[in-house]
Structure 1
Amino acid sequence: MNVRNPVTGRIERPLAPVPPDRLAGVAAELRMMAPAWRDADRGTLLSRFGAALAADDELLAALVADTGRVAESLLERQIVAGLIDRWVRQAPALLAPPAEFPASLPGVHVGGDLVPYELVGAITPWNFPLLLGLIDAVPALAAGCAVVVKPSEVTPRFIEPLMRLVPDGLPLRVVEGDGATGSALVDLVDAVVFTGSVPTGRLVAQAAARAFVPAYLELGGKDPAIVLAGADLDRATSAILWGGTANAGQSCQSIERVYVAREVHDEFLTLLADKAAQVGLTCEGGPIGPIIAPEQPDVLAAHLADAVAKGAVVHTGGEIERHGGGHWCRPTVLSGVDHTMLVMTEETFGPLLPVMAVDGPDEAVALANDSVYGLSAAVFAATEEEARAVAARLHAGAVSVNDASLTALVHEGEKHSFRLSGLGGSRMGPASISRFLRRRAFLVNRSDAADPWWHATKE
């Protein structure tokens, strides 16, 4: 495999997967570091790492080279620095031993402690290399685990500058590799976290089951947005346009389908298309970056061709463009869509916004729930109460109310993925650190009664 520049389309170097024996050596090295790390001042080392990361321009340049985008890379670095700071502040209280309490059995008290997994493996995708490389690694480190990360083979440039920032004593290693590397990693760790597609997630889960280690999966999405009749259409169109086209739509929580009350559909569509037409490509000075993964242009082209063949109308964009050797897609607004089309049912992972008219909240909810995915969603209404009532009916782990794709920016809300969008404990919020801890109970008998319940024995 080769490392491709998404802006120029050129192959820049071959991929250099870590050899299997070296990967095993990395795992063994991290296991040796784990006991000292559990007793270390973890907050100080993590804070040092976060400060270095926030200020390092070589890391930023590598992210830009990996993805071809600038604004999102700056935001990504900022979010990761904030993520580290938040875990440094929150972890001590979350890691406090559970309070002791009396059991139902007289004289017995229940206490306990929290035991981190020794080594956690993270297999991460290409759309946000730094953020998704560290979003699980940081709480695992804060919990006292050692961590090895295998990012996507599509975006490996950031690995080297990131590893230069890791302080001595911090048991974090990020390794270059492909699918075989990720597969080998599962057999070397005590718990695995995976972010990526549903088919690969199934393989990771099966491998983890064979290795008898827990797997936490964050998989695909086909996020709906619902716009009710009384919603602020200016606000809704701006939010949905950002939610569907930020990072060129290459986000698991991107808005990928929009259901609009029929009485405001035409006004919404006109406003959305007018705004979308003003959002340009980064190669022209706009905010929309290139299509990063080499196979993704074919997916977008197939979804567009299928929609148009079945009667969809393209209002903006609608083509895969070539500029400087890279692939690009402008914000694309479609109408006349329905659930016979791929663009309404399969994950697109691009800046496509298909808009469908619906006859009221019941139809909107039914269509929004007509999906194998359940990652997140958005609802816009005249009042928060009206939006919340609809949100409570959606099969999705997080619902943005009168906004879109807030899960990209707000990581404090605990949530679970529904359906094929994932498996395991919450990645977000304080509870997410518990994925990397086992609870151990101490059952202490303080009774002074002689033989209180045991079999009677002779003196």
Structure 2
Amino acid sequence: MNEKLSVRNPRTGKIDCWISPPTPDQIADKCAQMREAQIPWQQAGVERRIEAMQQWKQAILSQKEQLTEALVNDTGRLSESVVEINSLISTIDRWCRVAPELLLEDEKATAIPFIRVQSQQVAYQLVGVISPWNFPLLLSTIDTIPALLAGCAVIVKPSEIAPRFIKPLLETIASVSHLRDVLTFIEGAGDTGAALIEYVDLVCFTGSVSTGQKVGEAAAKLFIPAFLELGGKDPAVVLESADLELATSALLWGSVVNAGQSCLSIERIYIAESIFEKFVDKLTEKAKLLQICYPAIDRGEIGPIIAERQAAIIAEHLRDAVAKGAVVRCGGAVEELAGGLWCRPTVLTQVNHCMKVMTEETFGPIMPVMSFSTIEEAVQLANDTIYGLSAAVFAGSQEEAIALANQIDAGAISINDAGLTAFIHEGEKNSFKFSGMGGSRMGAAAIKRFLRKKAFLNKTQSIPDPWWFKS
């Protein structure tokens, strides 16, 4: 595990970075140190923790240029890297604003007049976060920030595919005296993540279903909580009454933002028969206008495919679809340009559920479009999946859209829009089916995941209890 790992640059295809995973003994030692540091961190109280988080925010802002450069080298795209850093800053501010109220403890009366209940929230001592490569900074911190404010120490293992941001981020952490002993990031691949689980009290994992199942099984054996946000094959349903101008623009963004490498990406689009051709024409016309960010990184909208193995999956899904009769309206191939792997926005028609592109997670800028004749058929198609992360519904009225959304098995459903979970953090949601398990990482419930509740049952009067044995 302590041998150096090579890292590929997604724009050039070259190996230009090496990382050094810690040994199991080093992980154990670091976790032991963090457990000791967590005790005064929790005892300091939420206001002191907020002060530390605000100091960290300022350190991040001072290192914004270095972080941006690292993220660009990790992912090969610029605009989304800027968004990641800005989102991290706003996430820190948002949790600092709401945490004090959410962490309040109270005392309540009971049905028995001389018994009162006092509550206490006890943070899990050490949280492990294992995060993916598609939004390396954002998804490594989305669980980390509320966990820290809850009073936990947190150790994060980002993906070995996009690890360059770790070094400048660790420099920001090291500059905050009250934070550096309770927060760290470590480099490594799957074996490092597996070793980490052995030493934490709770694990948060974002990634594939297959790896998530292994994480869940390991956590179950250790009897620790696991919060898993896994894959998706998010459907969109567009009814006859929908605004097609709105729907095509929203679904284009929701399908190809970050080159489709997003958990919230729309991967299947179902259109009412009567508007099918009109919808496809509009969507294709708009998709053709988008350009890849090549050769200049600050031009165009579509970045490279970050992970080489993901490019192979996208290419296989396209080959499989065409071989089974799909029609390519635009795009349709993975291209190699100067060593980087790219896929232009792709619209497919004549698709069906015998194709991998309609049933397996593609994670690319691919928009397979299929028609339906009845609401019942639309619901059946949308739910014909092992996944249930999120979805989108477009209709002429809120009532019509909600009536359909009620029948879709997914945790977050955008109404007359797509991918709203990227911006609306108040909506608590759970992942359905194989898309994950555990409490919501959105809304007030997100911080509650990192706390156990204690109840002190206080007898307030020195009198015999009526249920005692009679003397």
Normalising by the smaller structure, the TM-score range is over 0.9
Q: Distance in 1 between matches of 2:327 and 2:58?
A: 49
Which 4+ residue blocks in structure 1 deviate beyond 6 angstroms?
A: none
Residue of structure 2 equivalent to 1:71: 79
Letter in 1 for 2:14: R
Q: Which has the larger displacement, 44-53 or 291-300?
A: 44-53
Q: Does 1:455 align with 2:432?
A: no
5 Å matches for 1:226-305? 226-284=237-295, 285-305=299-319
Q: Does 1:162 align with 2:169?
A: yes
Residue of structure 2 equivalent to 1:143: 150
SS in 2 for 1:282: coil
Q: What is the CA distance between 1:451 and its match in structure 2?
A: 5.0
Residue of structure 1 equivalent to 2:54: 47
Pairing partner for 2:326 from 312, 322, 340:
312
How many residues align structurally?
A: 456
Q: Distance in 1 between matches of 2:108 and 2:171?
A: 46
Residue of structure 1 equivalent to 2:35: 31
Q: Could you say what the CA RMSD is over the residues aligned between the two structures, in angstroms?
A: 1.1
Pairing partner for 1:222 from 212, 233, 236:
233
Residue of structure 1 equivalent to 2:378: 364
Structure 2, unaligned stretches of length 5 or more?
Answer: none
5 Å matches for 1:38-437? 38-40=42-44, 41-55=48-62, 56-97=64-105, 99-166=106-173, 167-170=176-179, 171-284=182-295, 285-437=299-451
TM-score by length of 2: 0.95
Pairing partner for 1:5 from 3, 6, 9:
9
Q: Distance in 1 between matches of 2:470 and 2:336?
A: 85
SS in 1 for 2:294: helix
Q: Which has the larger displacement, 243-252 or 52-61?
A: 52-61
| Percent identity (aligned) | 54
Deviations 1:322-379 (A, max 9, x none): 1110110000000001111110000000000000011132211110011100000001
Structure 1, unaligned stretches of length 5 or more?
Answer: none
Letter in 1 for 2:137: L
Q: What is the CA distance between 1:450 and its match in structure 2?
A: 3.0
Letter in 1 for 2:9: N
Deviations 1:232-289 (A, max 9, x none): 1111111100000000000111000000011000000000001101101011421100
Q: Which has the larger displacement, 14-23 or 243-252?
A: 14-23
Q: Tell whether the 8 Å contact from 1:119 to 1:190 is kept in structure 2 after alignment.
A: yes
Q: Which has the larger displacement, 310-319 or 9-18?
A: 9-18
Deviations 1:165-187 (A, max 9, x none): 11122111001011111001101
Letter in 2 for 1:88: C
Q: What is the CA distance between 1:15 and its match in structure 2?
A: 3.0
Q: What is the CA distance between 1:38 and its match in structure 2?
A: 1.1
Letter in 2 for 1:247: N
Q: Tell whether the 8 Å contact from 1:79 to 1:409 is kept in structure 2 after alignment.
A: no
Letter in 2 for 1:381: A
Q: Distance in 1 between matches of 2:410 and 2:177?
A: 41
Q: Distance in 1 between matches of 2:438 and 2:456?
A: 26
SS in 2 for 1:356: strand
Q: What is the CA distance between 1:106 and its match in structure 2?
A: 4.5
After superposition, the Cα gap between the structure-2 partners of 1:454 and 1:348, relative to the gap in structure 1 and judged at 3 Å, is same
Residue of structure 2 equivalent to 1:18: 22
Q: Does 1:441 align with 2:455?
A: yes
Q: Distance in 2 between matches of 1:439 and 1:451?
A: 26
SS in 1 for 2:228: strand
Q: Distance in 1 between matches of 2:190 and 2:409?
A: 31
TM-score by length of 1: 0.97
Q: What is the CA distance between 1:302 and its match in structure 2?
A: 0.9
Q: What is the CA distance between 1:35 and its match in structure 2?
A: 1.2
SS in 1 for 2:161: coil
Q: Tell whether the 8 Å contact from 1:54 to 1:78 is kept in structure 2 after alignment.
A: no
Q: What is the CA distance between 1:29 and its match in structure 2?
A: 1.7
Q: Distance in 1 between matches of 2:147 and 2:465?
A: 44
SS in 2 for 1:157: coil
Q: Distance in 2 between matches of 1:386 and 1:143?
A: 40
